[in-house]
């Protein structure tokens, strides 16, 4: 598996984790709520394991976390009308920048050691 698929899997894991949180808040039926949370978490773990096959554990974890954070925040804002202060957007931008820096430095260190 190449790194593009690894990052796609890590992003999928983060989105699935955010969807589990949305399902827990969105559905009123307890059976449907728990079923969706379990389903989303199973998908999240499958995507995360696939991302670990192509990426380092640091790359997979940080990408998963960042995607989960951004997806959860945006879902809360869009679906549940939760306020997002300016500090949230600043923090989100710093997290995204950190993921890009970490990814770029990780790629450069692999090319120098190969």
Instruction: Note the pLDDT tens digit of each residue in 15-55.
Output: 999 999 999 998 889 999 999 999 999 999 999 999 999 99
Nearest CA to 19 out of 37, 4, 2 is that of 37
Is the pLDDT higher at 114 or at 95? 95
Residue numbers of the domain that contains 83: 3-113
Q: How far apart are CA 31 and CA 97, in angstroms?
A: 39
Instruction: Look at residue 105 and tell me whether its pLDDT is greater than 80.
Output: no
pLDDT band per the 50, 70, 90 thresholds, residue 111:
low
Number of domains in the chain: 1
Q: Measured between alpha carbons, how far apart are the two ends of the chain, in Å?
A: 18
How large is the average pLDDT for residues 73-79? Answer: 94
């Amino acid at each position: 598996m190449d790194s593009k698929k690894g990052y796609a899997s890590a992003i999928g894991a983060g989105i699935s984790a955010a969807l589990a949180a949305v399902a827990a808040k969105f559905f009123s039926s307890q059976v449907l709520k728990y079923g969706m949370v379990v389903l989303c978490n199973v998908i999240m773990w499958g995507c995360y394991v696939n991302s670990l096959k192509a990426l380092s554990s640091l790359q997979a974890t940080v990408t998963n976390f960042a995607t989960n954070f951004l997806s959860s925040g945006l879902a809360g804002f869009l679906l549940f009308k939760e306020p997002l202060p300016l500090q949230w957007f600043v923090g989100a931008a710093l997290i995204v920048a950190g993921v890009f820096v970490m990814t770029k430095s990780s790629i450069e260190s692999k090319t120098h050691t190969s």
